[in-house]
Every structure is written in C-alpha cells, then in structure tokens.
Amino acid sequence: MVTEVEAARSLVFTAAARYDQGVGEPGRFSSMAKLFASDVTMKVTTDAVQIMGGYGYMVEYGVERFMRDAKVFQIFEGANQLHQMGVARSYLGV
C-alpha cells in the first residue's frame, strides 16, 4: 500500500513540476495524476477496511470515513472515466 501511495505522490509531483515549467502537455499529466492517485486512494482505503475487519466499519477508528472520502476523489474534478478518455485521446492524437 505504501508503494502505491508513493508512486501516486511521485506522479502528482511530476505533473506539478511539468505544469510549473510549462513542459509538454500539463493537462494530460494532471489527468493521469488525478486518475491514478484517486484510484490508489480507493484501493488503499478498501484494503485498510478489510485489514481491520469489523473495526474498519466503526466510526471510532476513522477508516470508514477515509473510504467514503476516497470515493468522492474519484468523482470530483471529473469522473475518472472522463480522464481516462482524455489521456487516451492525447496519446492517440485524436
């Protein structure tokens, strides 16, 4: 889980650096970063809930809140499916 989070963080930093430097297509890299980071967030929080078993659903531990918030990240700023199509179009030149 830590490896996936670090990979997502690296992609976000790369997208931000490319945007700041005005290199390449910052929109494509920001879409890839949003898509990957939000999917990783959902996967990691789902895994955390499963690891904790029944405690993962209890409000006192807060993991269930992270999982609900992670789902919102996949929807805000455009659904992930829209970002997937945008990245694909960018690479295909369509």
**Active-site residues: which are they?**
77
CB 45 within 8 A of CB 67: yes
- In the chain, the largest separation of any two C-alpha atoms, in whole Å, equals 49
Amino acid at 35: L
The two structure tokens encoding residue 79? 């659904």
